Amino acid sequence: MSNRVHNILFHTHTISGILISVGLFVIFFAGSFSFFRDEIISWERNEPMQESSFSEVDLNGMMEVLEQDYDTYSRDITFEQYYEEKRISVTLSAPKDTSIHSPKGGAGGFFYMNTDNFRAYDYASNYSIGEFLYRLHFFAQLNLYGRSGYFIAGLVAFFFLFAIITGVLVHWKKIISNFYVFRPRASLKNIWTDAHTALGIIGLPFQFMYAVSGAYLIIGAAIMSPPVLSLMYNGDSDKMYEDLSLGVREFPLAMKKAEPVDLNHFVENTNERWPALQVQSVTLHNYGDANMHITVMGLPEFSEKFSGVGELVFKATSGEVISVKDPFTDVVYLDAATGIIDRLHFGDFGGVGLKVVYFILGLISCFVIISGILIWLVARDKKHIAEKKRKFNAWVGWIFLAACLSMYPVTAFTFVAVKLFVQEFDTSRMTAIYQIFFYSWLLLIVLFTFRKDNFITNKFSLLLGSVLGLLVPITNGFVSGNWIWRTFSEGYFDIFLVDAFWLTLSVATFFIAIRLRRNGPLRLEKKERNDSPTRAVASRQVV
């Protein structure tokens, strides 16, 4: 590789990395916690997670409750359970029979229903910390218009892939030898460079997989937005869904009511046909009509098959199977490719052990991002660089590090505050979680930025996060009575896992924080400080 090509790749790697650094840190940090989304939701609601399936859900009882609030005849009704929790989502279309004018209303609806007591929750009242962190990792909160947040997250994932490729090309010749280099007594830039290179190589396969799968999933979701739909399909959403194999089945209405059928029987029939299939959704087409059909869809257990989609379509009145999609033999390319990308991205195929490994690799990626910012910051603290540029670079470093490092204490604080003050599951719950997280995050960003000391930002973020993290299991014990020893003895391992996770993480970060030392004086003399605006605040940190 010529020096010119090397320099081009090096500078594009640096520029692309620094531009996406904060957004990428948010994605990895929030995404790492999202691996435990189901466990966090169980901890927050005091509802131990159960290995439930549609074979244990009383669909007949749920429909009896729905009929009290809706005129269900001729609607398409879908029950979905994609996460391990007691609440499943319910989607109702508007009635297809427009001649009926019911006092219960003719609009569609979407809500969640508890499978134990059939209590319904709208999206806001069902909101949780787990859902918040999951959506934060692809910037769903920024969807002010259409899917703008998804577009931003997709661009970050794309440029992250670009940064990985250019980084590998730049370090290719010395990628093995540099992995074993660590110079704790060298210059500050060399320390961060060694850490950045070594941890970057360790997490390289993980980061590459996430860059590819993240860009595919997020940009794929963004493509379905109205602007892209208008540009590529002239507004024809049905054509787009058909091309993507996402079309919804349509059955003509017979305009004749039929006798009620046993809905649970169709799920049992599917389980008997494919015992290794995990049913995830049941759709009732033309409910209550003589031409009512039922679609049962699920995914095979990971121990049997890694990808594939199983689907049975029944004619409700006769029980006849009119369509079969075998998850073990009828696997098309699109289902297989999408399934593999989903499984690799969400890490839900290896149990808690794999989630822990993914979480650790996610934190390593966060450290690689932080070290990259510090390399950029120190490398631009040179005498030949204009004073204005050096001050600008210093401010960029203060803001970027404050935004990234403060996420740890803010997340811990959100867990504690929600457990203490947001115990009601009503429509204000979603707004309360937003306010707790974003206001406290903004406060810490402002305080750390104007403190102008990256060492203080790092040390106090770790200390504050450790103290607040230790309060998470204590708060849970006082509020709900689910002390960590009780949840372990009772077998509530999902709730126990969250408390044990925060306890372990807090102890580890507290130990790191108290071991951090600053080499050199806290403040430089005025003349030297003016000459080097970043050196006074990016002083060497050693453990």
DSSP assignments along 327-386, one per residue: TTT---HHHHHHHHHHHHHHT-SSHHHHHHHHHHHHHHHHHHHHHHHHHHHHHT--TTS-
- Phi first, then psi, for residue 288 (nearest 5°) are 80, 0
Sequence-separated (6 or more) residues with CB below 8 Å from residue 224 = 147, 240
pLDDT digits (tens, 9 = 90+) for 204-260: 889 999 888 888 887 666 665 555 555 666 656 666 666 655 556 778 888 888 888
CA–CA separation, 542 and 405 (whole Å): 17
pLDDT truncated to tens, each residue of the chain (543 aa)? Answer: 677 877 788 878 888 888 899 999 999 999 999 999 989 999 998 888 765 556 778 899 999 998 888 888 889 999 998 777 788 899 998 888 877 666 666 678 889 998 888 888 888 888 999 999 999 998 988 876 557 788 888 889 888 988 888 888 887 777 777 666 666 666 666 676 777 777 888 888 899 998 888 888 876 666 655 555 556 666 566 666 666 555 567 788 888 888 889 999 999 999 999 988 888 899 999 998 999 999 999 888 888 888 888 999 999 988 899 989 988 887 777 778 888 888 888 888 888 899 999 999 999 999 989 988 888 888 777 777 888 888 898 899 999 999 999 999 999 999 999 999 998 888 889 999 999 999 999 999 999 999 999 999 999 999 999 999 999 999 999 999 899 999 999 888 899 999 999 999 999 999 999 988 775 433 333 444 444 444 444 444 433
Q: What is the pLDDT of residue 533?
A: 47
Q: What is the pLDDT of residue 168?
A: 84
CA–CA separation, 507 and 518 (whole Å): 21
pLDDT digits (tens, 9 = 90+) for 330-364: 777 777 888 888 888 888 888 889 999 999 999 99
> What angle, rounded to 10 degrees, do the helices at 3-34 and 129-136 form?
170
Q: What is the pLDDT of residue 445?
A: 96
DSSP assignments along 278-299, one per residue: EEEEEEEETTTBTT-EEEEEEE
What is the residue extent of each domain of the chain?
1-48+129-243+334-379, 54-114+246-331, 381-543
How many other C-beta atoms lie within 10 A of the C-beta of residue 304? 14
CA–CA separation, 145 and 85 (whole Å): 31
Q: Pairing mode, if any, of strands 310-315 and 293-300? A: antiparallel
CA–CA separation, 168 and 495 (whole Å): 41
Q: Which residues pair with 283 in a beta bridge?
A: 78, 295
- How much of the chain is helix, strand and coil, in % rounded to 5? 60, 10, 30
Q: Which residues pair with 300 in a beta bridge?
A: 277
